[in-house]
Amino acid sequence: MSKIVQRKREFFFGRCEIHNENPLSLSLIDFQRDFIINTTSALAVAREATKGFEQIPESASKTFIHAGNILNTTTMPPFLSLGLGKSAAAYFIQHAAVAYSDRGFKFYYADERNPDGSNASRGISGEAHAKFYLQLSETKSQGSWHQTFVKDIGYKQFS
């Protein structure tokens, strides 16, 4: 692998180890690092958000949105540890959406896709995220915890 390709990969995926042939060869150190980044930190932020939600006026939006991706619903061989982290984050978001619904807190795992349902990957749109996240925050009641959306379309459910 050329140094340029290696640097580009590290820029986009951190020091993500690629394990296509033997995914379970993933080191526990790499797994723990990715899990802390993708799940533990998100759980800590969600926990702090609930504390904040308790203190803001009833009229304020109490919405937590986790920037997800397709890895909680599909496998991509190079990204075992990242998929494990996103799947765990999706689980706690789903759990929180149910557990805190009686308090008016909303929790979402938001995932931008292409119109055909494939991963938006490097084609994600910051503007589409902003518009969709604003819509989620302005909605009064909890919608589906798993929010898949498409640029210029909005929410779109994929099977």
Mean pLDDT of 62-87: 94
Q: Choosing from 62, 86, 106, 151, which is the catalytic residue?
A: 86
Token readout for 109 is: 């795992």
pLDDT at 57 over 90: yes
Of residues 153 and 77, more confidently modeled: 153
- Report yes or no: 111 and 148 within 8 Å, Cβ to Cβ: yes
Q: Average model confidence (pLDDT) for the chain?
A: 90
pLDDT at position 7 is 47
Residue 53: give its domain's CATH number: 3.40.50.720
Q: Total structural domains in the chain? A: 1
Full domain range(s) for residue 136: 3-155
| pLDDT tens sequence across 96-153 | 999 999 999 999 999 999 999 999 988 999 999 999 999 999 999 999 999 999 999 9
Cα 147 from Cα 18, distance rounded (Å): 28
Is-catalytic flag, 86? yes
The packing angle between helices 80-99 and 41-55, to 10°, is 20
pLDDT at 8 over 70: no
pLDDT at position 78 is 84
pLDDT at position 6 is 47
pLDDT at 16 over 80: no
The answer to pTM > 0.85 is yes
Cα 62 from Cα 45, distance rounded (Å): 14
pLDDT at 13 over 80: no
**Residues 95, 117, 94: CA angle, nearest 5 degrees:** 0
Task: Place 34 in a pLDDT band, splitting at 50, 70 and 90.
Answer: very high
